[in-house]
Amino acid sequence: MKIPLIVGPTAVGKSEIAVELADMIGGEVVSADARAVYKDLEIGTAKPSWELRRRVPHHLLDHVPWWVRYDAVRFRRDCERVVCEIVDRGRIPVIVGGSTLYIRALTVGIFEGPGAAPEIRAELSHKPTAELYAELLRVDPAAAAKIRRSDRVRIIRALEVYRLTGKPISHFWGKERPFPWPLLVVGISLERRELYRRIAARVEEMFAKGLVDEARKLFHTKLPADVPILRTIGYAELFDHFRGIIPLGEARRRIVANTKAYARRQLTWFRREPGIRWIDRTGKDTAQVAREILSMLQEA
């Protein structure tokens, strides 16, 4: 049987579907979420509820402290290890997430380039994104053509690789190591208006659960300049509120708007990926969608 990999935009219900499927096939859930991997970021990262986590075992949630650098390379290594352990127990991994680089690390493979160079990153961090992109365009036009001008993280990584190896990062593309197990990649979509309604409802729920207090506690911690939560929707907007830049109501509005924009980017990215089998879950409950995935697995 192929290993199911469930992808799709935020708030589409992937976590619930993954648990339902794992229940059906005797599986365990492996998270491919670049924010849920961090400890303590409970509300703002919209981790699966404790009820879901009690139903089936979950892996790579609360995996590392929030101040530790964690990337797609480490995720790929950890995911391989966890999947191997699950398979050795005679159970079936169900991988689920919407973090595009983590998904690409599984579906395409991973280039394990040189490790991070703090001195290089510190130098690049002081430059405007436009200037960094102009440098990337000069040293690696192939990478610049595929990396968004606003994607500061990937631009800096590409420049870092170039400076450390003397070769453009695009030189290493196509040499990625494939995932050891065959994957059935299933994309979950939803009618746009309903997806937006779910996003707004989720944000309201996050505020009700104490997102402001969780963010305030983090805000009063001395944060390194490159800590991931500084770029995380939910925390970033509230940090601006704590700095007195925007009122709380505006922070809430921006969280909803930015989450919708993020969902659109995810959908655009996934729609371009070959080999994804899509399920439109509009009008379907979680069990129906899980049964459809099960049928796909049985066919495969």
Q: Give the 3-state secondary structure of 17-70.
A: HHHHHHHHHCEEEEECCCCCCECCCCCCCCCCCHHHHHHCCEECCCCECCCCCC
- Summarize the confidence of residues 269-277 as an average pLDDT: 93
Q: How confident is the model at residue 226 (pLDDT cuts 50, 70, 90)?
A: low
Cβ neighbours of residue 26 closer than 8 Å, sequence gap 6 or more:
91, 92
Quick one: 98 exposed, middle or buried, by C-beta within 10 A (0-12, 13-18, 19+)?
buried
Q: What pLDDT, on the 0 to 100 scale, is given for residue 118?
A: 80
pLDDT for 67 beyond 90: no
Please give the CATH number for the structural domain made up of 118-172: 1.10.20.140
How far apart are the C-alpha atoms of 244 and 146, rounded to whole Å? 37
Average pLDDT score over residue span 107-130: 84
Architecture of domain 3-110+177-299: 3-Layer(aba) Sandwich (3.40)
Q: What is the mean pLDDT of residues 119-140?
A: 92
**Which residues make up the CATH 3.40.50.300 domain(s) of the chain?**
3-110+177-299
- Residue 225: per-residue pLDDT: 67
| pLDDT digits 0-9 by tens, 89-98 | 999 999 999 9
Q: Residue 153: which pLDDT band, with cuts at 50, 70 and 90?
A: confident
Determine the pLDDT at residue 280.
Answer: 98
pLDDT at 147: 92
161-196 tens-digit pLDDT: 999 999 999 988 877 788 999 999 999 999 999 999
User: Reduced to 3 states, what is the DSSP secondary structure of residue 113?
Assistant: coil
pLDDT for position 188: 98
* Domain span(s) for CATH 1.10.20.140 in the chain: 118-172
Q: 0.75 exceeded by the pTM?
A: yes
**CB-based contacts of 138-141 (< 8 A; 24+ apart in sequence):** 139/168, 140/168, 140/169, 140/170
What confidence score (pLDDT) does residue 150 get? 87
